Amino acid sequence: MSIIIITGISGSGKSVALHALEDAGFECVDNLPINLLTSLIDQLDSDGTYKIAVAIDARRGSSIQDLPGIIDQVKDRHEIHTIFLNASTEALVKRFSETRRRHPLSLNHADHSAQSLIDAIDQERSLMAGIGEIAHQIDTSNISANTLRSWLLELVHEKKSAITILFESFGFKNGVPHDADIVFDARCIPNPYYENALKHLTGNDQPVIDFLVQTEEFNKMFIDINAFVSSWLPKYQKDGRSYLTIAIGCTGGQHRSVALVNKLYKTFKHSPEFSNLPSLKRHRDIANASIHSL
C-alpha cells in the first residue's frame, strides 16, 4: 500500500494538500491522532485500499514526536512517504488573519487559557522540531494554493523506487527555501540585471542565456555544481533518501539562478547515468512559478 503522510505547521497548506491528494484518488484522513495511525493503516490494508493520505499535526502535543518511530515500523511493510509543509511566521500570521480562524494551539484545553497567535506558532514549531528532518519539506510562504497542488501532485506521481531530484532557483532577498538540502550561491556571477536590455527578462530567455554563457564564472559554476551533484548523488540515494532538493540562489531569483537550474536540469535529463531518475525543476521567485518533471 502507498501511504503519504502530510504534516507540518498549521496554516502552511495541509488542507490544500489533502484535498489535492483526494482528487488524485487517495483515501484521505484529516487530523488523525498519532496513536491511531498504525491501526488505520492495518484496517485500510485489510479492506484492499492501495493508496492513502493522512494529515497529522501537533494539536495533541508531544505525541507527534512518536511519528518517526511509527514510520520506521510501517516502512518495512508499506511504501510510505512524508511531506512536511512549512511557511514563515509572517506568512502564517497573514493567513490566519485573513481566514479569521483560530490556531489549533492557541487555546490550552487543560485549563482553557489562551495564548497569542505568535506564541502558538512558536510552540508548534518546537513540538514539530525534528519531524521535518525525516520528510520532504515544501516551503509554502510565497506560493499560491494552485501552485502547491501542482507541486505536490508532481512529487507523489513520480516513481518511488528511485530518489527524486529537485533543482530549485530562488532569490536570497526572499530567503533560502526551507526545503533545500544543498544550497549554492550564484551571486558572484555577473548580473544580467544591470544590462538595460536584459533587466526585465529572466534566465528562461535566450538573450540572458547568451549573456551568461559568455562569462567564465557562469560556466565554471555550472561545471563545479554538476560535478558535485554527480559525485554525491549516488551516496544520497544509497542513504535511502526519497528526495534531494538542490537550491541555487542569486539576488532576486530571476536571472543567474534560473539559467543554472535550467542547464543542470537539462544535463541530468540527458545524462546516461542519471536519466532514469525522476527529476523536477522549479523557479520559486518567478511570477506564476511552475514545476516541471522529466
Does 60 count as an annotated binding residue?
A: yes
Does 285 count as an annotated binding residue?
A: no
d(CA 262, CA 281): 8
Does 9 count as an annotated binding residue?
A: yes
Does 55 count as an annotated binding residue?
A: no
Does 160 count as an annotated binding residue?
A: no
Does 10 count as an annotated binding residue?
A: yes
Does 11 count as an annotated binding residue?
A: yes
Does 66 count as an annotated binding residue?
A: no
Q: Are 184 and 168 in contact (CB under 8 A)?
A: no
C-alpha closest to that of 93 among 62, 116, 67: 116
d(CA 85, CA 130): 13
d(CA 74, CA 69): 9
Does 48 count as an annotated binding residue?
A: no
- How is residue 62 annotated by DSSP? G
Question: Which amino acid makes up residue 257?
Answer: S
Does 77 count as an annotated binding residue?
A: no
d(CA 4, CA 149): 14
- How is residue 5 annotated by DSSP? E
Does 58 count as an annotated binding residue?
A: yes
Binding-site annotation, residues for GTP:
57-60
Q: Which residues are annotated as a binding site for ATP?
A: 8-15
Known binding-site positions: 8-15, 57-60
